[in-house]
Structure 1
């Protein structure tokens, strides 16, 4: 295995990534009278100021030569897998001191469209525009199983369910379930209920249901135990882009191409129970951070944190120059990584969110004090622009 240092951003960019903006440094006007701030808002601002005063430790950015199509953290080791448009998957060892390129796997003849590790971390699953699925041994870097022409049209997303099962969804709305223990290249279940691409797949810990979002605006649910179709939601007028589970898997969060967040109660997948307009730009992906907090990524290049119960905007976690396409969280929950159209991957330290878990605020005087709500992981100096497009 060849080990070499990864090409990182210029020194000045890396240094700026490790810095954070102090709220007090960016405010020239007189402090708001404390009588105008309720206790809850005071508390969250206090915590943000405290965190801004600390050094945010996280790995430096990674800049790739080719367009990044997907990223995936290893479930146990400090390894990040990166899929690209050339059909390769590159493995990096990440740390605060620097990132090391471990191996470059040439897997597909066309673009790699999605990657995911098995739950035990032994295998890496990858899908491609060439309609194939490759299963690679992580330790040896060798291919141990592949499915040629796994879909009639290119697969769009892939999700590892356990050590043996994984699911794929394609551009035509077909969902397939695979078992690596089956000797043949046949799927163990297939379903066609959607008219557009399958954008994301998620399941609960007990593997009761498989939830699939689609570009046709419908949430499709499969009963994994009975291996049969369960229910399909009412159709939305916009694309459903990403899924997440919250509140001990009792709530399902669905993002849309118009910047909305739809809430579904578990086992009630036919109609959403609530809706929250997060922003005016498309939400490209999301990641659960705690039982109540989600980080959402947008076409405008911003990562934004939202407290779900109750619905509260917390602020900017970080930002890219171009649209963010991929988001994942590491094995210990300390970092999230995001990739953008700029072929860059940035790491964000999110440990401070544990302190915000029970904090709420009413955001009165929002227009006057909106610039104070950037989060410690963001180096943005003028975050008022972020809040200008929120309702």
Structure 2
């Protein structure tokens, strides 16, 4: 069955403004949704080819391709991990895949041959929760205990950096284009900036009431957006990490994933199962561009040509959507809205325990 087109979700009542028309590339063919045998935990498009990589709850990583007619083909499966896949990442040149899992290990795989290039078992004392790839030689991992490690393939077997500056799980990591600064969000409600070159913490925000779950660097790296467990986008000025410069409530549940589409527009994946197109500063939820029903959006990824967004949820499906034409997004005149922090959702406190039970 083909994924539903974006048009079906544009006037959802949950939008701030239902009158915004978001243009898409009508020539793009939407691939069939992928019905997976197990719950999907992370996805990542191939960076140079029409292909997508899917990690599941049993530790399997599967590579799929899709053609011009929208047909999806399973290519191969890797079973290097013994427990849940937490992260799948592909290097910019498309030659290498890194995977990390709950089994505390990470693997480096050649995407052309499928050969396992390296397996780092017992990489952390706690289960790995997030990862960020700098290039084919350098990767960072964050675990459930708040530990961050940097790995250089040329200097294995140990990490070249280890930091313990957080009291809870490392939920997301995003590297600046300069490859010198790493932004880190944590379940303890903080945003941290790590100087990769100097291998030390540069600054950490004050402690917020809600978990920080997802990150995006916006506005030509002048702003950093954090999605939190209360459905609020917390916006920081670059370099001013102590406190937010703006906040934008509006999501009906935790913002579990974010995907920048331009310097001004992001796609958010929410606990309520909806993918939203959001304009940042001025702040406005422009439209609903997809849905997984009532299942939370676990992961978002953008295709190598920018034409497709893929999303994964607890419904055991990977769905594809046409990327909206962000250049034609018009922002509502009354869209900017601020609000005070609200109490943390109790179920967000059980987020880590949920994965552990699985």
Q: TM-score range by the shorter chain?
A: 0.7 to 0.9
Question: Pick from 206, 229, 242: which aligns with 1:270?
Answer: 242
Q: Residue by residue, what CA displacement relative to the aligned partner does 1:295-346 show, whole Å, maximum 9, x if unpaired?
A: 1111111011111121112010110121111111111211110011010011
Give the equivalent residue in structure 2 for 1:151: 124
Q: Are positions 1:197 and 2:197 aligned together?
A: no
Distance 1:242 1:51 in 2: 25
* Aligned equivalent of 2:271: 299
The verdict on how the C-alpha distance between 1:132 and 1:22 changes in structure 2, with shifts beyond 3 A counting, is closer
User: What secondary structure, in the 3-state scheme, does the structure 2 residue paired with 1:168 have?
Assistant: strand
Distance 1:93 1:363, change over 3 A: same
TM-superposed deviation, 1:20: 3.6
Preserved contact between residue 118 and residue 164 of structure 1 (Cα < 8 Å): no
CA contact (8 A) 2:217 2:225 kept: yes
**Matching of residues 33-112 of structure 1 within 5 Å:** 45=20, 47-48=21-22, 57-97=29-69, 98-112=71-85
1:6 match: none
Given that 1:17 and 1:60 are in contact with CA atoms closer than 8 Å, whether structure 2 keeps it comes out as no
1:226 deviation in Å? 1.1
Which residue is 1:361 aligned to? 332
- Provide the C-alpha distance between the structure 1 equivalents of 2:9 and 2:164, rounded to a whole number of angstroms: 51
Q: Confirm or deny: 8 A CA contact 2:6 2:321 kept in the other structure.
A: no
Deviation at 1:280, TM superposition (A): 2.8
Deviation at 1:124, TM superposition (A): 0.7
How far did 1:268 drift?
1.6
| Superposed counterparts of 1:277-292, under 5 Å | 277-292=249-264
Deviates more, 1:55-64 or 1:341-350: 55-64
Q: CA deviation at 1:88?
A: 1.1
Could you say if the C-alpha distance between residues 174 and 23 of structure 1 is closer, same or farther in structure 2, counting changes exceeding 3 Å? closer
SS in 2 for 1:181: helix
Q: Which has the higher contact order (CA 8 A, sep 6+)?
A: 2
Give the SS at the match of 2:154: coil
Rounded to whole Å, the distance in 1 between the matches of 2:8 and 2:91 is 38
CA distance in 2, matches of 1:19, 1:305: 11
Extract structure 1 runs of 4+ deviating beyond 4 A: none
Residues 228 and 255 in structure 2, CA contact (< 8 A), matched pair in contact too = yes
Change in 2 beyond 3 A, CA 1:249/1:95: farther
When residues 266 and 153 of structure 1 are mapped into structure 2, their CA distance, relative to the original with a 3 A threshold, is same
TM-score by length of 2: 0.87
Q: Distance in 2 between matches of 1:161 and 1:114?
A: 14
Q: Specify the SS of the correspondent of 2:327.
A: helix
Distance (whole Å) between structure 1 residues aligned to residue 115 and residue 104 of structure 2: 20
Contact 1:240 1:257 in 2 (8 A): yes
User: Which structure features the higher share of helix residues?
Assistant: 1
Q: Secondary structure at the match of 2:234?
A: strand
Q: CA deviation at 1:361?
A: 2.2
Quickly say closer, same or farther: Cα 1:23–1:81, change in 2 above 3 A: closer
Alignment of 1:255-266 (within 5 A): 255-266=227-238
CA contact (8 A) 1:335 1:349 kept: yes
Select the residue among 204, 209, 214 that pairs with 1:237: 209
Residue 83 of structure 1: how far off its partner (Å): 0.5
What are structure 2's unaligned runs of at least 5 residues?
336-358
Structure 1 equivalent of residue 345 of structure 2? none
* Secondary structure at the counterpart of residue 17 of structure 1: coil
Larger Rg: 1
TM-superposition CA deviations, 1:201-232 (whole Å, max 9, x none): 01111112111100000112111111111111
Task: Report if the CA contact (8 A) 2:24-2:322 is conserved.
Answer: no
Give the aligned partner of residue 17 of structure 1: 4
